[in-house]
Structure 1
Amino acid sequence: MSTYLVTGGGTGIGAAVATRLAEDGGDVVVSGRRREPLEEVASAHPRITAMPADATDGAAMRRVVEDVTERYGGLDGVVANAGGHGYDTVGDTSDEAWRSSLDANLTTAFVTAREALEPLVRSGGSIVVVSSLAALRAGPETAGYTVGKHALLGLVRSLARDYGHRVRANAVCPGWVRTPMADQEMQVLVEGGGAADVESAYAEVTRDVPLGRPADPEEIAGVVAFLLGPDATYVNGATLVVDGGAHIVDVPTLAFG
């Protein structure tokens, strides 16, 4: 039986990952800043426990890791999923907004991985960092988010290089996924006149994706479960893109259909 810690586990991808790991027989602790959504996820499955904490706070995450290892006897896998916004151009990003974006999108994963390393080394465990297609491409007016997601790949590679003899570290880069955060972004498109409603907005942003649709959170959760599981024991330092094929599209040829 394996034990997992999932940050940003109260909604979206994090909640789907926690549910999938619990359904597969693991004990799962979900962490995040907001207690209510964590407890809602935990109440839906007896193998999930909520432990609220701010993943940018080293002392707080250290206590979570200590509580997990004391309660379950060890820690086998960590999913660093916490993230946030950072939507503006470089010129329009204030110092405060820059720090906030990097904290949300990068520091959370760094701190979580650092505090979990000792028990993961003991168990020969695995870290999966949930990044984004924004780690490979740049969207408009998303400087803080894009830089943070790019940097996560460097974090994963450093972890894999320095600790790969005992701990595997890999990144998952989703494209558009139906989550509360993505719903908010679709609403911005609706309010700006680019789509009639949220469903139309999702259709618009995935129009040129080969699969022609956004992912469901459960589809990302399945990939994370694979990377944590026994079929991926020789996968280390990898970046696994899960975007319906968006990253293979040659933008200059879109006019040709």
Structure 2
Amino acid sequence: MAYAGSHVDGHVVVVTGGGTGIGAGIAARYAAEGAHVVILGRRPGPLEAVAAEIGAHPLVADADAGDPAAVEAALAAVLERYGRVDTLVCNAGGPGFTSVGETSDAGWAEALHSNLTTSFAIVRGFLPALIESAGRIVIVSSLSGLFAGPSMAGYVTAKHALIGLTKSLARDYGRHGMRVNAVCPGWVRTQMADEEMDELVQNTGLQTRQAAYDAVTADLPLRRPAAAAEIAAAVRFLGSDESSYMTGATLVVDGGAHIVDLPTLAFDKARAGQKGVTSAWN
């Protein structure tokens, strides 16, 4: 889909974790609006596949966003080709799906590096260029940045910290005209989420991946997971002049999960049962 009169046409947009899932969706949305897209990630295969799919010959950087040397090299490549950076989208993420008692030192370090240091390191490296352009940063946290899921200590801790990083950056650099905001997605249909649904199928009586998605979203007002494109639309809004007076904000894109009062679910389901239906939202 092409977008006429876009607010990001010609902008230079850097997306970390751009080879799969939400990151690929973000890259595709910006490319469709005429932006010069740079996608970073640690696996060249998926990056090249996304680049081929979205067209416009985006710059691909095979780089760990949490490695200062890799960040320096990526910035040099971006500036050499485009001369500036307008928007940085910090989307890289990773593991951290164990409880504290089950988390090794190495596992803890990996969770923080993948989910938090990747944003810190690339933001720090790209700051001079973003200050010069009075640019925008969008940090992709998670609903886990607001709430805690079971046995997700490293992931939950890092995603919470990303919101703190967002606020700190917004507070310190707003005087330069730079804006920093966060997005907190809920369930999104991605390869990683598909794998989690498959694990749920294996460990329960559910029969299909779709049944697993239905189960994890049954108590959401919208009763479905998001598509990556829906998260990309929120990121693009924050990473454009359409959100020109927003900074330090956290935009929740979760199908309404965060508004549900968990202790009342039993009452809804009891009422639903009395009516002979299977879902509290029917």
TM-score, normalising length from structure 1?
A: 0.98
CA distance in 2, matches of 1:126, 1:195: 43
Structure 2: runs of 5+ lacking an equivalent: 1-9, 269-282
Q: What is the Cα deviation at residue 230 of structure 1?
A: 1.4
Q: What is the Cα deviation at residue 74 of structure 1?
A: 0.4
Q: What is the Cα deviation at residue 56 of structure 1?
A: 1.2
In our comparison, the structure showing a higher alpha carbon Rg is 2
CA distance in 2, matches of 1:78, 1:154: 17
CA distance in 1, matches of 2:119, 2:168: 13
Q: Does 1:10 align with 2:19?
A: yes
Q: What is the Cα deviation at residue 187 of structure 1?
A: 1.1
CA distance in 2, matches of 1:37, 1:138: 30
Q: Which runs of 4+ in 1 moved over 2 A?
A: none
CA distance in 2, matches of 1:62, 1:129: 19
Give the secondary-structure state (helix, strand or coil) at the position aligned to 1:209.
coil
Q: What is the Cα deviation at residue 51 of structure 1?
A: 1.1
Q: What is the Cα deviation at residue 24 of structure 1?
A: 0.6
Q: What is the Cα deviation at residue 168 of structure 1?
A: 0.6
CA distance in 2, matches of 1:126, 1:149: 20
Seq. identity, %: 54
Q: What is the Cα deviation at residue 49 of structure 1?
A: 2.2
Q: What is the Cα deviation at residue 195 of structure 1?
A: 2.0
Contact 1:16/1:218 (<8 A) preserved = yes
CA distance in 2, matches of 1:129, 1:194: 37
Amino acid at match of 2:91: N
Question: 1:100-119 counterparts in 2 under 5 A?
Answer: 100-119=110-129
Q: Deviations over 1:156-190 (max 9, x none)?
A: 01100111122111000000000111111111101
CA distance in 2, matches of 1:152, 1:67: 26
Question: 1:1-257 counterparts in 2 under 5 A?
Answer: 1-44=10-53, 45-166=55-176, 167-257=178-268
Q: What is the Cα deviation at residue 69 of structure 1?
A: 1.3
Q: Deviations over 1:94-150 (max 9, x none)?
A: 100000000000000101111111100000100000000000000000000000000
Q: What is the Cα deviation at residue 7 of structure 1?
A: 0.3
Structure 1: runs of 5+ lacking an equivalent: none
Q: What is the Cα deviation at residue 47 of structure 1?
A: 4.3
Amino acid at match of 2:256: G
Would you say how many aligned residue pairs link Structure 1 and Structure 2?
257
Q: Deviations over 1:39-96 (max 9, x none)?
A: 0011121242211101110010111011101100100000000001111111110100
Give the secondary-structure state (helix, strand or coil) at the position aligned to 2:101.
coil
Contact 1:2/1:76 (<8 A) preserved = yes
